[in-house]
Amino acid sequence: MAIRPILNVAESAAILKQVSAPVERVDDELRALMDDMLETMYDAPGIGLAAVQIGVLKRVIVMDLAKEGEEPQPRFFVNPEITWTSDETAPYEEGCLSVPEVYDEVQRPARVRLTWLDYDGVAHDEEVDGLFATCIQHEMDHLNGVLFIDHLSRLKRDRAIQRVKKVIREAA
Ligand code: K2U
Ligand code: ZN
């Protein structure tokens, strides 16, 4: 297991804007990647992470929605697909590990139906809501080269990128 650097929009926008490729097979090499993604996410800390955020253009997401003090509940999504979205939407104050120190409200479908392969390559098909629905849509956007700031106004998006550039400059 290894903690990998997380790409940010100020330095790696070209990679973060790319569409990730489907996974051919769920094997030990892919499981090693998912282990690294999970360790990197916990270290950030975050509740979700897409492979593109550590520079790997594969359609893989990890997530853990367990709250502080709860038993960790890691989830692995290989080749996830959203097959249905509710008309009803829900707002959430989103952040992103690739857009540090920027938070803003994003409206997304409140419920989605999701298919995916898990850590062992077993297929799943579930309808989800709440933070699970919000987070998986945020991560699926990453797999399609979309950041949550792309859902904001042009002015807010440009200001967000300027803010990240300042945050990265000051961290250097
Ligand atoms: O993709 C990422 O950068 C991780 C995201 C996941 C996420 C974004 C928006 C809404 C839900 C999940 C976050 O940076 S993880 C940080 C976080 C923690 C608690 C609640 C929301 C975001
Ligand atoms: Zn993100």
**pTM score:** 0.96
Contacts of 166 (CB under 8 A, 6+ apart): none
Question: Is 2 domain-assigned?
Answer: no
Cβ pair 101, 167 in contact under 8 A? yes
> Looking at residue 119, what is its pLDDT?
98
> Looking at residue 1, what is its pLDDT?
87
* pLDDT classification of 167: cutoffs 50, 70, 90: very high
User: Which element (helix H / strand E) includes 13?
Assistant: helix 9-16
> Looking at residue 50, what is its pLDDT?
99
Q: Is 64 in the pocket of ligand 1 (CB under 6 A)?
A: no
Beta bridge partners, 116, equal 124
* pLDDT classification of 43: cutoffs 50, 70, 90: very high
Number of domains comprising the chain: 1
Look over the chain and give the mean of its residue pLDDT values, rounded to a whole number.
97
Question: Is 4 domain-assigned?
Answer: no
- Please state the atom number of ligand 1 nearest to the C-alpha of residue 47: 15
Over residues 11-25, the mean pLDDT reads: 98
Ligand nearest to the CA of 102: 1
The owner of tokens 């996974």 is: 23
* pLDDT classification of 21: cutoffs 50, 70, 90: very high
Q: Which of 128, 125, 155, 151 is CA-nearest to residue 48?
A: 128
Question: Is 3 domain-assigned?
Answer: no
Question: Is 49 domain-assigned?
Answer: yes
Domain that holds residue 97: 9-171
pLDDT tens digits along 117-164: 999 999 999 999 999 999 999 999 999 999 999 999 999 999 999 999
Using DSSP, state whether 65 is helix, strand or coil.
coil
Question: Is 62 domain-assigned?
Answer: yes
Around Cβ 160, how many Cβ atoms within 10 Å?
22
Over residues 15-26, the mean pLDDT reads: 98
Question: Is 19 domain-assigned?
Answer: yes
Question: Is 126 domain-assigned?
Answer: yes
Distance of CA 156 to the CA centre of its chain: 20
Question: Is 45 domain-assigned?
Answer: yes
139 is catalytic: yes
> Looking at residue 135, what is its pLDDT?
98
> Looking at residue 65, what is its pLDDT?
98
pLDDT for 69 beyond 90: yes
Q: Is 108 in the pocket of ligand 1 (CB under 6 A)?
A: no
For 83-92, the CB contacts below 8 A with 24+ separation are: 83/113, 83/114, 83/115, 83/125, 84/112, 84/113, 84/127, 85/109, 85/111, 85/112, 85/113, 86/110, 86/111, 86/112, 90/133, 90/134, 92/131, 92/134
Query: How much of the chain, in percent, has pLDDT values that exceed 70?
Result: 100
Pocket test for ligand 1, best of 7, 96, 137, 148 (most atoms within 8 A of CB): 96
Over residues 29-42, the mean pLDDT reads: 98
Using DSSP, state whether 116 is helix, strand or coil.
strand
Q: What is the CATH number of the domain that holds 68?
A: 3.90.45.10
